[in-house]
Structure 1
Amino acid sequence: MKRNPLVPYFLIFAMGFVIIFFLGIKGIGDAKEIANEGEEGGEEEVAFEPEEFANKTCISCHGENLEGASGPSLHGTGLSKEEVADILQNGKGSAMPAGLVPPDNIDAMAEYVSNLK
């Protein structure tokens, strides 16, 4: 007796269709639970770390230890916190662009830079 060579393919197709059908039903049932997870937990706000920000953003111009490279050294600048905040917000000439530090974090970054020795 000869067997039809297409039977295994039809069985695999049928099993795949059944699995997709039941997983779809399971997903519909879990949709409300998944939606509620996003509302309850939310995204935790990460605290701004000036040193971490400087290591990601400022080292390209001010050098690895912020001791100067194409930009001046940030150690011992003699600038007050307010002066540093003004430079961070408005920039300085064509070398220091404005807006590198998010406005909410300018005070923290200005304090960090003004305290570098």
Structure 2
Amino acid sequence: MKQYVKFFIVIGTISATLLTACSSNEQQAELDADLVAEGEKIAKSSCIGCHAADLSGDMGPNLRQLKLSKEEIVEVLEKGRGSMPPATAKGHEEAVAEYLLSLQ
């Protein structure tokens, strides 16, 4: 009988851990969706002048086919690159990076 009690305690602990992990993943997904939505607003107001309305490229490169990591995108947004000026996302670099990565 004691073995069954121990078994159910172990199963209960594992279940609680898994439920907590799932809840954290759902919260992370919500956060990412919020960042993507925020990034989309910024990109549509700040990036379309050089990268076209659909971000497929014009004077600037195609942003729909970036081969950069999130960190690299944030760095380009903060520091600029080539003819792109720095600080174009004005503190929203992470959100813009999330949005651009969602287009890939």
TM-score range, shorter chain: 0.5 to 0.7
Count of aligned pairs = 69
In the TM superposition, residue 77 of structure 1 has moved relative to its aligned partner by 0.9
* 1:52 Cα deviation from its structure 2 partner: 1.4
The reply on whether 1:55 has 2:44 as its aligned counterpart is: yes
Q: What residue in structure 2 maps to residue 68 of structure 1?
A: 57
- Distance in 2 (CA, whole Å) between partners of 1:55 and 1:106 is 14
How many Å separate the matches in 2 of 1:96 and 1:115? Answer: 21
What is the CA–CA distance in structure 1 between the aligned matches of 2:39 and 2:95, rounded to whole Å? 7
SS of the equivalent of 1:92 reads coil
TM-score for both structures, normalised by structure 2: 0.60
Q: How does 1:1-117 map to 2 (within 5 A)?
A: 49-93=38-82, 95-103=83-91, 105-117=92-104
Q: Which has the larger radius of gyration?
A: 1
Matching residue's letter, 1:115: S
Runs of 4+ in 1 over 2 A off after TM superposition: none
Counterparts of 1:107 and 1:58 in 2: how far apart (Å)?
A: 15
- Give the CA deviation at 1:72: 0.5
Counterpart amino acid of 1:90?
K
Q: What TM-score do you get using the length of structure 1 for normalisation?
A: 0.54
Return the alpha-carbon distance in structure 2 between the equivalents of residues 54 and 106 of structure 1: 10
Match of 2:23? none
Structure 2: which 5+ residue stretches go unaligned? 1-34
Alpha-carbon distance in structure 2 between the residues aligned to 1:115 and 1:72: 17
Bigger relative CO (Cα 8 Å, ≥ 6 apart): 2
How far apart, CA to CA, are the structure 2 residues paired with 1:97 and 1:79? Answer: 18
Equivalent residue of 1:65, what SS? coil
Asked if the contact 1:78/1:114 (under 8 Å) is kept, the reply is no
